[in-house]
Amino acid sequence: MEWAMALLLNHPNVITKAQNEIDTNIGKHRLVDESDIVNLPYLRCIINETLRMYPAGPLLVPRESSKDCVIGGYNIPGRTMLLVNQWAIHRDPKFWTDPKSFNPERFKGLEAMRDGFKYMPFGSGRRSCPGEGLAVRMMALTIGLLIQCFDWERISEKKVDMTEGYGITLPKAEPLLAKCKPRLEMRNLLA
């Protein structure tokens, strides 16, 4: 969620589009609910693009080859520990146009599905993360509410630093700081 908010603060036009989607589909008389997420495809595009650029776990859970095989021209002996670098796959220009750019529209029409093995923020197959559904719902609900209820801006004119820190879960190097104020339209609901 921190990465998503940082990306949104650096792209205020995306926040505006998401607010417009929420205002159009939900209105200003009630808060976004979990059941509304399916009707907010642009919000899901934002989440997908965030997870593409900054997956929670940049390396998937280790696997072991069951027998000798050849992958990408490399001989892999049986019982070899293999790591999938999804961070690199998600940023590979062979798979993604302008992979370093935040572009939620690239997921338009693919909001609720995976795009082959080039997008797998929760892994793939039998060993994919069992918490994917919960994680995506909680992220969508929380970010949806933050976008619906508040106007956001950076603490200075400078863009938010997107430097990645070190760790298994890909933290931001510098914690996110931002300013927010309640949207005028939402003050009654927030009171």
Instruction: Note whether residue 143 is domain-resident.
Output: yes
45-54: per-residue pLDDT in tens? 999 999 999 9
pLDDT for residue 190 is more than 90:
no
State residue 157's pLDDT score.
94
Q: Please, where are the H alpha helices in 54-164? A: 86-90, 132-149
- Please list the residues that pair with 179 across neighbouring strands: 153
22-66: per-residue pLDDT in tens? 999 999 899 999 999 999 999 999 999 999 999 988 888 888 899
Arithmetic mean of pLDDT over the chain = 92
Instruction: Note whether residue 122 is domain-resident.
Output: yes
What pTM value is reported for the model?
0.91
Instruction: Note whether residue 77 is domain-resident.
Output: no
The residues, ordered by sequence, that sit 6+ positions from 117 with a Cβ below 8 Å of its Cβ are: 89, 124
What integer is the mean pLDDT of 146-165?
96
Which residues form the domain of 122?
2-57+86-190
Burial 182-191 (b: 16+ CB within 10 A, else e): ebeebeeeee
CA distance between the termini of the chain:
25
What integer is the mean pLDDT of 138-152?
97
Instruction: Note whether residue 70 is domain-resident.
Output: no
108-123: per-residue pLDDT in tens? 987 556 656 788 899 8
Distances (CA, A) of 101 to 17, 95, 105, 153, 162: 17, 13, 11, 20, 12
Instruction: Dig out the tokens for 56 from the structure.
Output: 């929670």
State residue 111's pLDDT score.
55
Separation CA 19–CA 108 (nearest Å): 17
Query: Is 129 flagged in the annotation as binding?
Result: yes
Q: What is the CATH number of the domain that holds 128?
A: 1.10.630.10
Residue 126: which pLDDT band, with cuts at 50, 70 and 90?
confident
Instruction: Dig out the tokens for 81 from the structure.
Output: 């520990």
Instruction: Note whether residue 131 is domain-resident.
Output: yes
Instruction: Note whether residue 9 is domain-resident.
Output: yes
Instruction: Note whether residue 63 is domain-resident.
Output: no
State residue 114's pLDDT score.
60
Q: Please, where are the H alpha helices in the chain? A: 2-10, 12-25, 41-53, 86-90, 132-149, 187-190
Instruction: Note whether residue 66 is domain-resident.
Output: no
Domain count, the chain: 1
State residue 181's pLDDT score.
95
